[in-house]
Amino acid sequence: MAELLERFGCTHVVVRGIPSSLATEALRMSPAEVDLQKARQEHAEYVEVMRSKLGLEVIELPSDEAMPDCVFVEDAAVVCGATALITRPGSESRRPETKAMKEALKKLGLTIVEMTDENATLDGGDVLFTGQEFFVGLSKRTNQKGAEILADAFKDYAVSTVAVEEGLHLKSFCSMGGPGLILIGSSDHAQKALKIMQQMSDHRYDKLTVPDDLAANCIYMNLPDKGHVLLHSTADMFPESVKVLEKLKDYTLIPVSNLEKMKVDGALTCCSVLINKKADI
Amino acid sequence: MVNTTLRVEGSDLSAVRAFKNTVRQQLETRFKLDSDDLPSSIPVVACMLDPCFKHLKFIPDSKRERAYSHLDTLLLRVSETLSVTNVGVETCETEQTGKDIGKKARLELDFAELFGTHFESGQNTARGSTATEEARQYFLLPQIPTLDNPLQCQNKYSEVERKAPSVGVAMTTEAGTETEVKEKAEESAALADQSEQATEETQEVVTAEGEKREKEGKGISRYLPTWLKKQKSQTQTSPTKDVPPSEEAVDKETEKVPEVNGHAEEVEEEQEQKKDAEKSEQVKEKEELPEVDAKEQSEPVKEEKVEKSEEKSAEEETKAVAEGDKTEEETKETTEAPVEEKDTQTSLFQSPLRLVRKNKMKLVVCHVTLLDGTDYTCEVEKRVKGQYLFFKVCEHLNLMEKDYFGLTYKDTHDHKCWLDPTKEIKRQIRSNNWKFSVNVKFYPPDPSLLTEDLTRYLLCLQLREDVASGKLPCSFVTHALLGSYSLQAELGDYETEQPKPLDYMSQLKFAPSQNKDMEEKILELHKSHRGLTPAQADAQFLENAKKLSMYGVDMHHAKDSEGVDITLGVCANGLLVYKDKLRINRFAWPKILKISYKRNNFYIKIRPGETEQFESTVGFKLQNHRSAKRLWKVCVENHSFFRLNAPEPPNKTRFLTLGSKFRYSGRTQAQTRVASTLIDRPAPNFERTSSKRISRSLDGAPMISITDTSAGENGREPHLELNSDSKVDLSPGDDEAATSQSPGASEAAPSQSSVHGDNIYVRHSNLMLEDHDKTQDEVLKHQASISELKRSFMEAPPPSPPQPNLWEKRLTSSPATTIRVQPQPVVTVSQTETSPVEIVISEPKEPVKTAEVEIEETVVVQEVSKTTKPVIVTVEKVPIEPVVKIEEAMTFAEEEKQCKQSVSSESESEEEAEYHPNAHATLSHTQIPEEKEEEEKVVVVEVVEEVKEEEEEDQVKNDTPVDLPATQEPPPAESRQELVETDQAGTQTKDNAEEKPPAVLEKDESVDEPMVTPDEAPNGLPLGDDAEQEEPKVNGQHMETALRPQVICCTEPPVVKTEMVTISDTFAAQKTEIATKEVPIVHTETKTITYEAAQLEGNGDAEPGVLMTAQTITSESLCTTTTTHITKTLKGGLSETRIEKRIVITGDCDIDHDEALAQAIKEAKEQHPDMRRIDSQRAEVAMASADNH
């Protein structure tokens, strides 16, 4: 258990600024108007929580106007232990985002694995690392080949694929809420995906179902002096879901507003890449 | 005694009466107390050789003296021959003497074991002395006491088995000697004369007997020998133990006892006869049937022949008869070491010879590659079972927690296969390449639970190899970490003063692709492990290794229903499906209802999900049927090991297993854990070998990806051998490494295998077209689509914690239906078709004669619960072990059958099999012992039908071979100890209705339909020991398999129809699942086996065909088993087909036998209208019921 907790440890976090192009050019599943200012403010709060509240070392990459979605760094890399897989995002417009990410992670001393296969696509948002294994959502953005390369990069772990029938990413309706705890939305497709995950796994997972799919996307960390930490969406966004999350005992719950980014399908996890340098052997 | 037991009573049914009379007649014929020849008669000699009766208390003193002196004479002769040479061993080894020698050797070994046991209770000190001395000693010892408890027999047996190695070795010398002797005997006229004399003496008696039998009618003659034997065993007990040698007892005893003894061991005379027989063999032309093994089963056939063929000499007859008498012994022998190669030419002569314990043992040198890469060489007798070698290796390794390990060999296609411990090695390896490897068979999910560091160390060695070869994939960091622990374990703390140069590191193999970075990382990490002891380092290694997702996953290449390449991984938790490196599905064991394979298809039947109504079946296509079977076996074993408390009890498997009898027979994880906790010895010292040796062997090895290696491979075999060649090249300087590699180097190139496989596959697919192919595909597709739809989630329970079972109700009654259809097509196909695999493997020369073998087996077991795991184990401890053994025996017997038929190893012969994974078996099994009070009654109905094809009607006899209703007779305690101990398969009857002779009813052949006369079965008799409820069943089944007449070959497709007899849906309906101990066994079992092999090989590897279907339905109080067994025999131009149906009804409480039987027969008749017709022509019906308790 101790070791498992360690896998949720975090020392460094990589984030990226919001370009002005986000409001208009960033990809989104459904049309929505984004208040750029508000979005930037939210993001600043988000980073600040990481930095001061949680005491993490924040590496903030500069935004790039040519990459409207660049704030969603999660999709550009998957980091597990000392290995970082630089992805090949499913949407072509986002592929340049990986360059800066790769440089940053390299500087952190991680072992870099690149996804060079032309046929492979993978968004980090489709990758759910449970601490014991990977689940990769096969979505519009991620294909089998991408998942294979991920499996190759993280050979220690089982990598199972899960079909994502609705929503952008696998993590659009789920995330880890702790070691062995999966937060899951209550929609049918979310529940179905969970069942598949449970069936495919040799491990046992508890689930915590929240009414709203998007509220199921939280950031869990286990920090040395703080124990269980969960960043979640605010109560005004998902009041019912937050009530559910509040049942978690011994958790430090930190609500983070994510309203504007949500409009461009940006969930909480999307905006950061967590790195645990201590896990680096 | 005899008079008492065989007294005809008014209440007896006619058949019973007839039987009793016959038995008495027989006994009186054989043991004429007033005859002058008595002392030198075979029965008496045999009695002397039986530790139960050696003191001959049943005959007058004067005659006893004469008998002893007669024996002395005989022994003298033997010892002469024995002393002729002691070089025999070498001779034996080098000369690839004929198979008959091998057989004799085996017999002799058995003989030796018997003697060893009797002499110093298992210690073979007398080995070196002459036969005469041994005999003297023998007579000084008290008679063998009776064993009250069947379990004791089991234990005793296991002891013997344990000691077997030494015995075997010790006897080798003798055997060799004997061989030589024989050869010389042939040359020397003097010897020959002597033996002839002896033979003649006995001949008279036997011949008379044989004639008598003939007159008695077919039905009786078939049955009697067996029955008599059984009977004797029962009665024997009393004479020796219960009844003091009073004169009054003499009469009665005499009648029976001699008979018994006659069966038991006529060692000396037999030996003489052998010599004789050998001579005659050479001289005479044998037009005998294709060789049937010297089993009980074969006996009937031989007898028939004797009767039929006028030309045969008296000698021959004698032998044939003698053979019959020896059935019991034979059983033992066969069980222990089934006769393998047969001479097709000689049946009559050979078998007697075999019976005689003239063993010329052939020793074979086995090279076993240990986990540390070193080679362990040992000699074993050629016919030993896998277990023997494995135990030997474990002994060498000082390994106690051995259940996680196994031996592998490479088959002819260069696939690594697990050596089945219950089968003869020789039969499995199918080549003269006696090379094996020790491998981890079951990777303990939590190595920290292992008791001994030694075990962990060995596991580490395996894992290092797995990791280095790429079979167990892991990341860079993990490679480095594991490597560093390996260094720490082997080298100790990192020496800062004298750091190992990097090029030293590069000589070690840590990963399939290893670079300087990794080596540096390893060294760096090594530094951090300062202070860890080797054991701690190993433990850390394992802690990290066990977390790897592919830890303990056995990979098999396959295609899904759409032809997409996938990989199936079998592990402790279930079956994993991978596409490339991704897991795309997973079937936890609890979710799997049935595992089966058919040809190259592998199926799993999935329990319906929460929302689903029906179970679905998912099918996969393997490269060929061997792969399918390998996968199936691995599944069966893994499920059994990790999920069951105890191996599936024998009663579920026994006869059905004829086809794919395969079940895991070892200890389960639960059992082995308990056993581990009982290990009470100081931690063994062992030396950790430098990994340099190992790793180097891997150097330069082709990189093996998961898929590559695992495909078609059975287990996690180390790739040492594969790599060895290259390694030698790479590091020529290392002598050690080179040495260890050498065995591997000589092995065939791995690349060939795939080619082979392809060929086979193609051929096979052709075959398939004729048969099930179409339907299969359809089914496959259909099922696949269904399964596609139903990926409902099913929570997989954690591996270790006990889980309540929800499935109980899931007992499949359905399989029965399915099964029913299949046997027929199979039969037809089998005769004409050829199994390519077999040809390729075993008999490349004669492709023409091949047989297609089809086996279907469905076993449904209920999983009641695993909750009581610890409890069960504790309670059952005693019972379990015996049970396991029984199972082995059963398997063995079956195997033997196959062997006789010279069917290639099961792996080749079986085309399909099913397995229903569940945990219930264990429970029911365990419960059984506790229900001592309940009596079981077994009713056996047999319908034997012989269909003869082709000419030579004159020769063909309607005589049905003697069937042993062995089931019914509990051997007398005393004889049991002797016989049962040594005899694995043989008389497993543990029940002892000591005082109750089983009643046997005989039917005339003229009877149209099977008449069932329920035995009076006086159940009220006191049970001497704790009769176990199960035992009767076990025995019954066992008998069925072991004693059945053997199948031979057929040239033409015989008109054989096999049908399934379904008895009692009613019973099935009654089944309830109650896990309480008071409740009788509740389970339903349905099995169908179709097994077919028809092949006649001139070289003695005849492939007999057996077709069998069986069904067992068990309700709370009744267990009904129906077996259909088809035997085909080809002698010359004559082909015989026999269809036997046996219905066994077993109950734990009083059952109305008549009613049950009548019902069973009625149903059988309904289903077999054809059968009846045939019956009228030449079927024999015999029924017997006995009280087992």
Question: When comparing pLDDT for B1030 and B73, which is higher?
Answer: B73
**Chain segment B1012-1026, per-residue pLDDT in tens:** 333 433 343 333 343
| Among candidates B481, B580, B795 on the partner chain, residue whose Cβ is nearest the Cβ of A198 | B795
**A74 annotated to bind ligand:** yes
| Among candidates B477, B478, B549 on the partner chain, residue whose Cβ is nearest the Cβ of A133 | B549
pLDDT of residue B148 exceeding 50? no
Q: What is the DSSP string of A41-58?
A: HHHHHHHHIIIIIS-PEE
- How much is the average pLDDT of B463-489? 91
Chain pair A-B, CB pairs under 8 angstroms = 85
Burial class of residue B212, CB neighbours in 10 A (0-12, 13-18, 19+): middle
The answer to whether B481 contacts A83, with C-beta atoms less than 8 Å apart, is: no
Q: Rounded to whole angstroms, how far apart are CA atoms B975 and B1160?
A: 34
Please give the structure tokens belonging to residue B666. 């070892």
Q: What is the pLDDT of residue B667?
A: 82
**Chain segment B651-667, per-residue pLDDT in tens:** 444 444 444 667 777 78
**A88 annotated to bind ligand:** no
Chain A residue numbers with beta carbons less than 8 Å from the beta carbon of B573 are 202
Q: What is the pLDDT of residue B496?
A: 73
Please give the structure tokens belonging to residue A234. 């605010």
- How much is the average pLDDT of B632-642? 91
Buried b (16+ CB within 10 A) or exposed e, A167-206: bbbbbbbbbbbbbbbbbbbbbebbbbbbbbbbbbbbbebe
List helix spans (H) across B1014-1096: 1030-1043, 1065-1070
Average pLDDT of the residues of chain B: 54
**A35 annotated to bind ligand:** no
The answer to whether B168 and B116 have CB atoms below 8 angstroms apart is no
The answer to the question of residue A280 being in a domain is no
The answer to whether B583 contacts A161, with C-beta atoms less than 8 Å apart, is: yes
The answer to whether B582 contacts A160, with C-beta atoms less than 8 Å apart, is: yes
Enumerate residues 6+ apart whose C-beta is below 8 A from B677.
B451
The answer to whether B582 contacts A161, with C-beta atoms less than 8 Å apart, is: yes
Best of B523, B583, B610 to disrupt the A interface (most A CBs within 10 Å) is: B583
Please give the structure tokens belonging to residue B1187. 């009280």
The answer to whether A151 contacts B581, with C-beta atoms less than 8 Å apart, is: yes
**A69 annotated to bind ligand:** yes
B56 DSSP 8-state letter? -
The answer to the question of residue A44 being in a domain is yes
Q: Rounded to whole angstroms, how far apart are CA atoms B796 and B453?
A: 31
The answer to whether B334 and B285 have CB atoms below 8 angstroms apart is no
**Chain segment B1087-1115, per-residue pLDDT in tens:** 333 333 333 333 433 334 343 444 444 44
pLDDT of residue B898 exceeding 70? no
- How much is the average pLDDT of B431-448? 90
Q: Rounded to whole angstroms, how far apart are CA atoms B719 and B738?
A: 15
Chain B residue numbers with beta carbons less than 8 Å from the beta carbon of A111 are 476-477
**Chain segment B675-730, per-residue pLDDT in tens:** 777 777 887 777 776 654 444 333 333 333 333 333 333 333 333 232 323 333 33
**A51 annotated to bind ligand:** no
A169 carries an active-site annotation? yes
**B100: closest CA of chain A, how far (Å):** 53
The answer to the question of residue A281 being in a domain is no
Chain A residue numbers with beta carbons less than 8 Å from the beta carbon of B796 are 198-199, 201-202, 204
Please give the structure tokens belonging to residue B878. 């005693």
pLDDT of residue B1128 exceeding 70? no
Chain B residue numbers with beta carbons less than 8 Å from the beta carbon of A132 are 547
- Residues within 8 A of B (CB atoms), A 156-175 only: 156-161
A70 carries an active-site annotation? no
| Among candidates A81, A111, A200 on the partner chain, residue whose Cβ is nearest the Cβ of B585 | A200
**A190: closest CA of chain B, how far (Å):** 13
| Among candidates B475, B584, B791 on the partner chain, residue whose Cβ is nearest the Cβ of A83 | B475
The answer to whether A226 and A252 have CB atoms below 8 angstroms apart is yes
Find how far residue B1158's CA is from the centre of its chain. 33
A151 and B CB contact within 8 Å: yes
Best of B548, B581, B795 to disrupt the A interface (most A CBs within 10 Å) is: B581
pLDDT of residue B456 exceeding 90? yes
Q: Rounded to whole angstroms, how far apart are CA atoms B1040 and B897?
A: 11
Best of A78, A155, A170 to disrupt the B interface (most B CBs within 10 Å) is: A155
Chain B residue numbers with beta carbons less than 8 Å from the beta carbon of A159 are 549, 581-583
Could you list the residue range(s) of the whole structural domain that residue A112 is in? 2-275
Span of A101-115, B137-151, B407-421, B496-510 with lowest mean pLDDT:
B137-151
> Strands of A219-223's sheet, edge to edge?
A219-223, A227-233, A251-256
Enumerate residues 6+ apart whose C-beta is below 8 A from B672.
B401, B403, B404
- How much is the average pLDDT of B355-380? 79
Count how many domains chain A has. Answer: 1
Chain B residue numbers with beta carbons less than 8 Å from the beta carbon of A204 are 795-796, 798
- Residues within 8 A of A (CB atoms), B 578-617 only: 579-586, 588
Q: Across the strands, what pairs with B595?
A: B604, B915
Q: What is the pLDDT of residue B772?
A: 33
Q: What is the CATH number of the domain that holds A248?
A: 3.75.10.10
Q: What is the DSSP string of B277-341?
A: HHHHHHHSPP-PPSP--SSTTHHHHHHHHHHH-SSS-HHHHHHHHHHHHTHHHHHHHHHHS----
The answer to whether A198 contacts B478, with C-beta atoms less than 8 Å apart, is: no
Give percent above pLDDT 70 in chain B. Answer: 28
- How much is the average pLDDT of B445-457? 91
Q: Rounded to whole angstroms, how far apart are CA atoms B904 and B896?
A: 11
Q: What is the DSSP string of B601-666?
A: EEEEEEPP-TT-SS-EEEEEE-SSHHHHHHHHHHHHHHHHHHH-SSPPPHHHHTTGGGTT-----S
Best of A202, A209, A276, A281 to disrupt the B interface (most B CBs within 10 Å) is: A202
- Residues within 8 A of A (CB atoms), B 522-541 only: 525
Enumerate residues 6+ apart whose C-beta is below 8 A from B277.
B315, B319, B349, B350, B352, B353
A214 DSSP 8-state letter? G
Most confident of A125-129, B281-285, B408-412: A125-129
Q: Rounded to whole angstroms, how far apart are CA atoms B144 and B262?
A: 17
Q: Rounded to whole angstroms, how far apart are CA atoms B978 and B328?
A: 11
The answer to the question of residue A32 being in a domain is yes
Angle at B561 between CA B556 and CA B565, to 5 degrees: 45
The answer to whether B274 and B46 have CB atoms below 8 angstroms apart is no
For B15, B759, B1136, the CA distances from B1180, given in Å and listed in that order, are 13, 45, 15
Question: When comparing pLDDT for B80 and B1116, which is higher?
Answer: B80
Chain A residue numbers with beta carbons less than 8 Å from the beta carbon of B478 are 155-156
**Chain segment B580-598, per-residue pLDDT in tens:** 889 999 999 999 998 999 8
Please give the structure tokens belonging to residue B277. 């027989």
**A27 annotated to bind ligand:** yes
Angle at B897 between CA B945 and CA B1163, to 5 degrees: 35
Q: Rounded to whole angstroms, how far apart are CA atoms B750 and B88?
A: 38
pLDDT of residue B1049 exceeding 60? no
Most confident of A203-217, B200-214, B355-369, B1027-1041: A203-217
Q: Is the ipTM of this complex over 0.85?
A: yes
Q: What is the pLDDT of residue B132?
A: 53
pLDDT band at residue B176 under the 50/70/90 scheme: very low
pLDDT of residue B68 exceeding 70? yes
pLDDT of residue B738 exceeding 80? no
Q: Across the strands, what pairs with A128?
A: A135
Find how far residue B153's CA is from the centre of its chain. 18
Angle at B262 between CA B261 and CA B267, to 5 degrees: 95
The answer to whether B586 contacts A151, with C-beta atoms less than 8 Å apart, is: no
Q: What is the pLDDT of residue B644?
A: 86
| Distance between first and last Cα of chain A | 18
B239 DSSP 8-state letter? I
Q: Given the residues A169, A218, A232, A271, select the one marked as catalytic.
A: A169
**Chain segment B815-855, per-residue pLDDT in tens:** 332 333 233 333 323 333 333 333 223 333 333 333 333 33
Tell me which residues of chain A have a pLDDT lower than 50: 279-281
* pTM, 2 dp: 0.51
Chain B residue numbers with beta carbons less than 8 Å from the beta carbon of A144 are 579-580, 582
Chain A residue with minimum CA distance to B576: A200
The answer to whether A195 contacts B791, with C-beta atoms less than 8 Å apart, is: yes
Q: What is the pLDDT of residue A12?
A: 94
**B549: closest CA of chain A, how far (Å):** 5
The answer to whether B582 contacts A81, with C-beta atoms less than 8 Å apart, is: no
For residue B1131, count other CB atoms closer than 10 A to its CB. 25
Q: Rounded to whole angstroms, how far apart are CA atoms B486 and B492?
A: 9
The answer to whether B476 contacts A111, with C-beta atoms less than 8 Å apart, is: yes
Chain A residue numbers with beta carbons less than 8 Å from the beta carbon of B475 are 81, 83, 153-156
- Residues within 8 A of B (CB atoms), A 38-77 only: none
The answer to the question of residue A76 being in a domain is yes
Chain B residue with minimum CA distance to A149: B581
| Among candidates A81, A195, A202 on the partner chain, residue whose Cβ is nearest the Cβ of B477 | A81
Q: Given the residues A10, A80, A218, A270, select the one marked as catalytic.
A: A270
**B505: closest CA of chain A, how far (Å):** 20
Please give the structure tokens belonging to residue B869. 């795991």
Q: Rounded to whole angstroms, how far apart are CA atoms B114 and B109?
A: 8
Enumerate residues 6+ apart whose C-beta is below 8 A from B777.
none
Chain A residue numbers with beta carbons less than 8 Å from the beta carbon of B795 are 198-199, 204
The answer to whether A155 contacts B481, with C-beta atoms less than 8 Å apart, is: no
The answer to whether A161 contacts B584, with C-beta atoms less than 8 Å apart, is: yes
The answer to whether B1181 and B218 have CB atoms below 8 angstroms apart is no
**A13 annotated to bind ligand:** no
pLDDT of residue B1127 exceeding 90? no
